[in-house]
Amino acid sequence: MERFVSRQSLSWALTGAVLALLTVSSVGCKGLFSTVAYLVKGTNVDAEYDGLKHHKVAVIVRPPAGASADAHYGARELAQKIGEHLQRNVRGIKVVEQQEVERWMDDLNNLEQDDYRAAGRALKADQVVAVELEEFRLNNNSTSLYTGRCGYRIVVYDLKDKAGQIVYEHTPLEATVYPPNHGIPIGEKTRAGFRRIFVGALAEEIAQRFYPHDSTVHFARDSATLEHH
């Protein structure tokens, strides 16, 4: 039995070696390494910033200047949803209840860096995840279709440092458009219903920057969500 297993293992090893040589000859070393990385990691993506683990974190979302009612509601819903994703997926995190955060926010339109730090300290948070919305729209150049559009900037402040230094910052090159390929006829969904779907997709996109995830999962989930809501 041991001899059989040994031969079988050798056979698999030889097969792997042959496949590797064939791959090198067809795509080169760089292509081989990419292929091996894909086979090992699949479609998993690492966190861009993993410093939220084992910390108390406040999530603050600031609406854009001159925000519409949609943007105000969307900002509050977005903060709640981001917090929920972080609580489920970041090891050891404690997300401050959104109602507590809102009690400290007198004017979300005019928050500056020092305000985020002050709010975080008042809430006894170790870090603040601040999301500044540059735009938030549910109708992108159309009166008959829902197409969510949002530009944003993410900044994380570390309050364990007395200065509250910025430890992570990200601004996407382009605004997020949802759904990406076609709008949803207004007659098919209520405005509030579409806003919640858009906010859900946007919250996941933002929160996933802080924990490892499968980059392909949300595509299938988004399709199912649009069909059944």
Q: What is the pLDDT of residues 134-169, one digit of tens each?
A: 999 998 777 789 999 999 999 999 999 878 999 999
Q: What pTM does this model have?
A: 0.76
Environment class of 47 (CB within 10 Å of its CB; exposed 0-12, middle 13-18, buried 19+): middle
| pLDDT for 39 beyond 60 | no
Q: What is the mean pLDDT of residues 26-49?
A: 56
Per-residue model confidence as pLDDT tens digits over 77-92: 999 999 999 999 999 9
Task: Please give the pLDDT value at position 7.
Answer: 45
Give the type of residue at 161. D
Q: What is the mean pLDDT of residues 165-190?
A: 93
CB 169 within 8 A of CB 132: no
Percent of the chain with pLDDT over 90: 56
Residue 126's Cβ-side half-sphere holds a number of Cα atoms within 13 Å equal to 11
